[in-house]
Amino acid sequence: MQLDGRNKFIIAFIVLGALSRLIPHPLNFTPVAAMALFGGTYLLNKRMAFLVPVSVMFLSDTVLELVNGSGFHPEMIWVYGSMLLITGLGFFLRGREQRQTIMVASLSGSLLFFFITNFGTWTTGLYGYTAQGLGQCYIAAIPFFKGTVMGDLFYNLVFFGGFALVNRFAPQLVKKKV
């Protein structure tokens, strides 16, 4: 599959987002869900829309693992699963990329990520395999949720806003091939 300038530009945005995971940042203030939402919205080939954010995430996880041992963890499957669902959410945004819809999709992605990844944490047995344990797991995760929401909103602003600016001032870079 040959990449046109539009896809190269979108992939470059996603790669830059993933690289930002490698610099110090507030707790959970990362581009993870934003990469998936942005890819799902603008990478028109659905296979590529799923593959690119997850692959780039895996590469950044590999670097994090090599640098400080924090890249790979037992709940990774839940993180990647939530990314795939958020990519699917991006499909619903196609053709509807306005501030309000992007913000709603961003917040929906944050909620998906929160509920799925913390369910994954609960499955490790740390809180016990009861409804009460699941509730405790979600309550314990609330402080992390603020960083998730703020990171998702920030990175979606950067990705979608940046794409809109390029589309307006240099449309030849992101024009769809027909």
pLDDT tens digit string along 139-154? 999 999 999 999 999 9
Instruction: Specify the pTM.
Output: 0.94
Tell me the helix, strand and coil percentages in the chain, rounded to 5: 75, 0, 25
pLDDT at 177: 65
Sign of CA dihedral 17, 18, 23, 26: positive
- φ/ψ (deg, to 5) at 10: -65, -45
Q: What number is the average pLDDT over the span 164-173?
A: 91
Is 178 a residue whose pLDDT tops 70?
Answer: no
Answer whether 90's CB lies under 8 Å from 54's CB. Answer: no
3-state secondary structure of 45: coil
Helix spans in 69-175 (H): 76-93, 99-122, 131-169
What does the pLDDT look like over 15-72, one tens digit per residue?
Answer: 999 999 999 999 999 999 999 999 999 999 999 999 999 999 999 999 999 999 988 9
For 141-157, b where at least 16 C-beta lie within 10 A, e where not — what string? Answer: beeebebbbebbbebbe
